Chain A
């Protein structure tokens, strides 16, 4: 299968900061690559380079068979982009926005109108279609933004954190829409801070940190590397901690981690609920009082901890968290200048 997206050795520096530091990736036609990484990892920068918005200092990029740096104008008709922040005209209605984008992709007047109506329906915006976007919620804007990227069903699609800021239900809806697209043969590069999202949507995941890909594989492969789930137990008394440690050591992978202050013990496990039951049975035998016991799916932080031996630098929301902040680009700019 030929690659729809190839990036080789991308470097982009901002002063001292290496936003991209030799990043390479390839996405075979018709597949989904999830670009996973914490804040500031270089996900957006990568997307901007791939979508002709930013020239890297060095490196090579091909998208849909076209050399992006040499012929950006040839690439643009073949790609769709939905950026990290909804970029639609607030003063236009949802329908006016989509018709405008259709016309800009050189669809006829009738075709643009029909396409807009179909997309509005599909994204559950039918009722709000003729309201100005200013009155939309964050999730509605996000959906409209994605719809705008799909007016021509481009063969290669870039979605930068498509579900950040959505509530859990809207997120699942969005996943459904994205899955449909991919079933239709679209090649997709998707960035996300949620392992769960990459897990659900991506054929292959690239973990990005400090501007380079630090791990690559299917979601199962990555999870195996980070030891699947984490089993966590909180006991009632300090003197019960050793019992908890030995119980968890028996069911988990490697040395349990102890937080004595919280009387909490953690260990990676690969056997899920079976490990949990076994651990509880052992603690019960030892007459330890259990205040809390939980099985955690791996989070991005776990991936980081395992892959880099240190936690992700800035706290990223854990997988399965509800809606993150719908930060506006202005907030973002402030954050960056104050950083």
Chain B
């Protein structure tokens, strides 16, 4: 299949997923209420409790963390969506069509990414309303948003693999997120890692989530008291490297899974 053919098929299926978004109540909740809640809750509940070195603003520190955490949970939406397609027999039907083997997954992950751009925008606006500010220029801020969006896209591919492996939407909604709690919380997303026990600090330091959060803080010019070594010195470059590596692993795995997927 030619690249143009793959793009065509992927686009048709992206459109399909986009059409679904306003018609699925859960998706709408995920896209609007949940991010608003996260931003508001985290800012007000943790806002005064976490002292930052140098007395920096916790909300300024927090928001990039919430962005990255919410985008990481993009995994669940994709895995549930694909598990649902699988259990309804749609994946079988798509597999019987003369379309690119990547199309169904490209369509789903692209649509989810576009949805996440919207989610990110909602969160950013809320953030500004509760006192978060960007202290750099448009170029840096845009790069931060691009990075966070790419993170969501990458996480969607991991979700795609999970969704097609577990096959049932109910299982997918759990399997898609349980592991994300430790992964996102053992990081610098909500608290500076300096207060963690030594061994946990090491994990948090090298946790890619921390790298993404640190990159976003750096690009937005928000307080960034973080870690040591490579993740501290070059968070932006390292984040892009993570994206390349994770996509390089999970895109082929997910496509392979799709090729042999069966609904039962």
Interface residues, chain A, with chain B CB atoms under 8 Å away: 48, 51-54, 73, 76-77, 79, 81, 83, 85-92, 96, 100-101, 103-106, 132, 148, 329-330, 332-333, 336
Please, which residues of chain A bring their CB within 8 A of the CB of B96?
Answer: 51-53, 76, 79, 81
Q: Which of A54, A96, A103 is within 8 Å of B262, CB to CB? A: A54
Q: Smallest Cβ distance from B164 to chain A, in angstroms?
A: 14
Please, which residues of chain B bring their CB within 8 A of the CB of A90?
Answer: 88
Q: Smallest Cβ distance from B57 to chain A, in angstroms?
A: 42
Per-residue interface assignment for chain B, residues 87 to 125, with 1 indicating a CB less than 8 Å from any chain A CB and 0 otherwise = 111101111111100010000000000000000000000
Answer whether A52 and B95 are a contact pair too, CB < 8 Å, given A104-B9, A104-B12: yes
15 more A-B contacts (CB under 8 A) besides A85-B88, A100-B13? A73-B1, A79-B96, A85-B89, A87-B88, A92-B19, A100-B16, A103-B12, A104-B13, A104-B99, A104-B103, A105-B97, A132-B23, A329-B264, A330-B87, A332-B264
In contact, B16 and A105 (Cβ under 8 angstroms): no
Q: Quick one: which of A53, A77, A104, A333 has the most chain B CB within 10 A?
A: A104
Q: Smallest Cβ distance from B83 to chain A, in angstroms?
A: 12
B20 within 8 A of A: yes
B165 within 8 A of A: no
In contact, A77 and B98 (Cβ under 8 angstroms): yes
Q: Smallest Cβ distance from B257 to chain A, in angstroms?
A: 14
25 contacts between A and B (CB under 8 A): A48-B262, A53-B96, A76-B97, A76-B98, A77-B98, A83-B92, A85-B88, A87-B90, A87-B92, A88-B93, A89-B90, A91-B19, A91-B20, A91-B23, A100-B13, A100-B15, A103-B12, A104-B9, A104-B12, A104-B98, A104-B103, A132-B23, A329-B88, A329-B89, A332-B264
B263 within 8 A of A: yes
Per-residue interface assignment for chain B, residues 1 to 33, with 1 indicating a CB less than 8 Å from any chain A CB and 0 otherwise = 100000011001101100110011000000000
Please, which residues of chain B bring their CB within 8 A of the CB of A106?
Answer: 8, 98
In contact, B16 and A89 (Cβ under 8 angstroms): yes
Within the assembled complex, what's the spacing in Å between the Cα atoms of A209 and B16?
40
In contact, B93 and A333 (Cβ under 8 angstroms): no
Q: Which 8 A-B pairs have the closest CB atoms?
A: A87-B89, A76-B98, A77-B98, A87-B93, A91-B20, A81-B96, A91-B23, A103-B12
In contact, A53 and B97 (Cβ under 8 angstroms): no
Within the assembled complex, what's the spacing in Å between the Cα atoms of A87 and B94?
9
Within the assembled complex, what's the spacing in Å between the Cα atoms of A21 and B12?
39
Q: Smallest Cβ distance from B11 to chain A, in angstroms?
A: 9
In contact, A101 and B97 (Cβ under 8 angstroms): yes
Chain B: interface residue total (CB-CB under 8 A): 27
Please, which residues of chain B bring their CB within 8 A of the CB of A76?
Answer: 96-98
Interface residues, chain B, with chain A CB atoms under 8 Å away: 1, 8-9, 12-13, 15-16, 19-20, 23-24, 87-90, 92-99, 103, 262-264
Q: Which of A53, A103, A104, A336 is within 8 Å of B92, CB to CB? A: A53
* Interface contact tally, CB-CB below 8 A: 75
Within the assembled complex, what's the spacing in Å between the Cα atoms of A81 and B89?
12
Q: Smallest Cβ distance from B103 to chain A, in angstroms?
A: 8
Please, which residues of chain A bring their CB within 8 A of the CB of B99?
Answer: 104
Within the assembled complex, what's the spacing in Å between the Cα atoms of A132 and B22?
12
Q: Which of A81, A91, A103, A332 is within 8 Å of B93, CB to CB? A: A81
In contact, A73 and B98 (Cβ under 8 angstroms): yes
In contact, B263 and A329 (Cβ under 8 angstroms): yes
Within the assembled complex, what's the spacing in Å between the Cα atoms of A79 and B93?
12
Please, which residues of chain A bring their CB within 8 A of the CB of B20?
Answer: 89, 91-92
Please, which residues of chain B bring their CB within 8 A of the CB of A53?
Answer: 92, 95-96, 262
Please, which residues of chain B bring their CB within 8 A of the CB of A88?
Answer: 90, 93
Q: Smallest Cβ distance from B168 to chain A, in angstroms?
A: 8
Within the assembled complex, what's the spacing in Å between the Cα atoms of A330 and B83?
12
Within the assembled complex, what's the spacing in Å between the Cα atoms of A92 and B19?
7
User: B167's closest neighbor in chain A, by CB?
Assistant: A333
In contact, A329 and B16 (Cβ under 8 angstroms): no
Q: Which of B12, B23, B93 is within 8 Å of A83, CB to CB? A: B93
Within the assembled complex, what's the spacing in Å between the Cα atoms of A105 and B94?
11
Q: Smallest Cβ distance from A88 to chain B, in angstroms?
A: 8
Within the assembled complex, what's the spacing in Å between the Cα atoms of A100 and B104?
12
In contact, A96 and B19 (Cβ under 8 angstroms): yes
Please, which residues of chain A bring their CB within 8 A of the CB of B24?
Answer: 91
Q: Which of B23, B90, B98, B103 is within 8 Å of A105, CB to CB? A: B98
Please, which residues of chain B bring their CB within 8 A of the CB of A83?
Answer: 89, 92-93
Q: Smallest Cβ distance from B242 to chain A, in angstroms?
A: 33
Within the assembled complex, what's the spacing in Å between the Cα atoms of A27 and B89?
26
User: B104's closest neighbor in chain A, by CB?
Assistant: A104
Within the assembled complex, what's the spacing in Å between the Cα atoms of A49 and B160?
25
Please, which residues of chain B bring their CB within 8 A of the CB of A54?
Answer: 262
Please, which residues of chain A bring their CB within 8 A of the CB of B103?
Answer: 104
Please, which residues of chain A bring their CB within 8 A of the CB of B15?
Answer: 100
Q: Smallest Cβ distance from B262 to chain A, in angstroms?
A: 6
Q: Smallest Cβ distance from A266 to chain B, in angstroms?
A: 39
In contact, A336 and B264 (Cβ under 8 angstroms): yes
